[in-house]
């Protein structure tokens, strides 16, 4: 793989990792809003699931950043993005007591979040297919195994 392609993959990994590192950290330090969304979607054990989602996001985000097990992590994140987009960001949002104008804005934002999730799923599928590139843990470990 050329240095240019490896550099492009490194930049892509850095950019694709931020959303999950930050989101995962946020869920782990303050899971209440995520637990509320989970409850609203009808899932049990919302706080536990919020912490689990936060841990998943933080760990997979860090894996993307350093390029570790990128084919597995890329597929896992693509599936996570499609699932969360379809379950939590499709349909309308109803917040009791909020004015209709605010609800229209929230529903528009929710639709954008769904499209963002589906778009990210495509990016993670591409990352899984391309691999992590030369500047990654995956590249270093495969060289170590090849040399042994």
- pTM exceeding the 0.75 threshold for the entire prediction: yes
Which is more confidently placed, 96 or 134? Answer: 134
The predicted pLDDT at position 101 comes to 77
pLDDT tens per residue across span 64-96: 999 999 999 999 999 999 999 999 988 777 767
Which tokens go with 85?
């987009």
Averaged pLDDT for residues 109-137: 96
Question: b vs e for 34-72, b when ≥16 Cβ sit within 10 Å of the residue's Cβ?
Answer: bbebbeeeeeeebeebbbebbebbbebbebbbbbbbbee
DSSP assignment, residue 21? H
Rg of the chain's alpha carbons, rounded to an integer?
18
**Mean pLDDT, the chain, as a whole number?**
91
- Residue 76: which residues within 8 A CB-CB, separation 6 or more? 60
Which of the given ranges, 39-48, 74-83, 88-97, 135-144, has the highest pLDDT on average? 74-83
Identify which has the larger pLDDT, 107 or 29: 29
Q: pLDDT by residue (tens digit) across 3-21? A: 889 999 999 999 999 999 9
């Amino acid at each position: 793989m050329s240095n240019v392609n490896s550099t492009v993959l490194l930049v892509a990994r850095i950019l694709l990792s931020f959303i999950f590192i930050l989101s995962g950290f946020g869920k782990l330090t303050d899971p209440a809003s995520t637990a509320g969304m989970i409850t609203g979607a009808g899932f049990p054990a919302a706080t536990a699931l919020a912490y689990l989602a936060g841990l998943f996001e933080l760990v997979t985000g860090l894996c993307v950043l350093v390029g570790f097990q990128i084919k597995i992590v890329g597929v896992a994140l693509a599936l996570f993005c499609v699932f969360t987009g379809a379950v939590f960001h499709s349909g309308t949002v109803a917040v009791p007591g909020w004015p209709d104008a605010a609800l229209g804005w929230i529903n528009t934002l929710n639709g954008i979040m769904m499209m963002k999730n589906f778009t990210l799923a495509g990016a993670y599928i591409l990352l899984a297919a391309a691999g992590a590139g030369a500047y990654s843990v995956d590249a270093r470990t495969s060289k170590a195994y090849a040399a042994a």
